[in-house]
Amino acid sequence: MLGSELMQMAAENYSVNNVQSFIITGFDHLQNQKLLGFLILLTYMLILLGNGINLCVISINRHLHKPMYILICNLAIVDIIFSSTCSTTMISVLLAEIKTVSYYSCISRTYFYHLGGITACMALTLMAIDRLIAIRLPLRYHSIVTNSRTFLLISLTWLIGFAIMGVEISVVDSVPYCQPVIRYVFCDYPSMIRAACVNPEPYFFLPTMINLWLLCGQFPFILCTYAVLAYSVTRLSNNSNKKQMISTCSSHLIVLFSYYAPKLVSNLLTRIGVMLSLTDRNAIIIIASLVPSLINPTVYCTRTKEIRKRLADVFLHKRIVPNHLKAVS
């Protein structure tokens, strides 16, 4: 309903111009564009390497084919999609000096960028629920949280993301564009709406509702989940189990705040009346788009005992012997 009303509003007030491509101008004022481009390229390569290692280690080790590691793989896939849609555009602009992005390429990048953002939030929610069940109901965990149910829930989060983004992209694709200039650093919903020759305010109602759902709905829910987990961990009598749970939960919390912190800072500054310049907004967008995807694999590689052990076995060229063969020997 909202999408059709916005389309009608655009059609009544403006004549549609055919736009074949957009010009990215968000970096035009910077002096050291090559240096920034190199840093973004290096960060992107580390993101691909870290998430690729997590995916490979978990997929080739049957011992790690468990719900928690399936959720880590899901987050790694989300991180790759999320960072790739924005990084490739910025690298192209800064290093290759190709500022032009075709219309449908911009549309598709916008779609997958926001799809990655929404599914990342829901992936963190699933991981919090998984840890809550593991600590609160340890004896029933394996009967409640199975691989098949985990895959089902992950599929559901992706379907929700696809549906939400289908509505957003239909709005973006319906508005007329006066000039093919995007003043930001890559294609996303706000930058495309602001490039259109419409009053942007009504078109931000849907993304505002989505942000409220993420920041005022899922984020507090996840925090409450970890508050319950913290209380439960303090009541554990076994010090070894307590340390393991603290290590696992702290890893999840680091990932959680790396994802939400830039969004919270940006929204808080806006709410208290701080006027951010275009440069400041672009800086926050770049940090929010790349830093979480870089932190996630680093955290899970270094702080998850099983993944760390498997990596050590690979790099030290140790032969990994299955448990049933160890028992025979």
| 322 within a domain of the structure (yes/no) | no
Identity of residue 26: G
What are 197-225's pLDDT values in tens digits?
Answer: 888 888 989 888 998 898 888 999 998 98
| 128 within a domain of the structure (yes/no) | yes
Mean pLDDT of 181-210: 90
Nearest one of 96, 93, 121, 126 to 109, comparing CA atoms: 93
Angle between helices 33-60 and 67-94 (to 10 degrees): 160
Neighbouring residues of 71: CB distance < 8 A, sequence distance ≥ 6 = 123, 126, 127, 130, 150, 154
| 299 within a domain of the structure (yes/no) | yes
| 303 within a domain of the structure (yes/no) | yes
Higher per-residue pLDDT: 82 or 1: 82
| 13 within a domain of the structure (yes/no) | no
The enclosing domain of 293 has a CATH number of 1.20.1070.10
| 218 within a domain of the structure (yes/no) | yes
| 50 within a domain of the structure (yes/no) | yes
Query: What is the domain range of residue 44?
Result: 20-316
What are 143-155's pLDDT values in tens digits?
Answer: 999 999 999 999 9
Q: How many domains does the chain have?
A: 1
Residue 110 confidence (pLDDT) above 90: yes
Residue 328 confidence (pLDDT) above 50: no
| 174 within a domain of the structure (yes/no) | yes
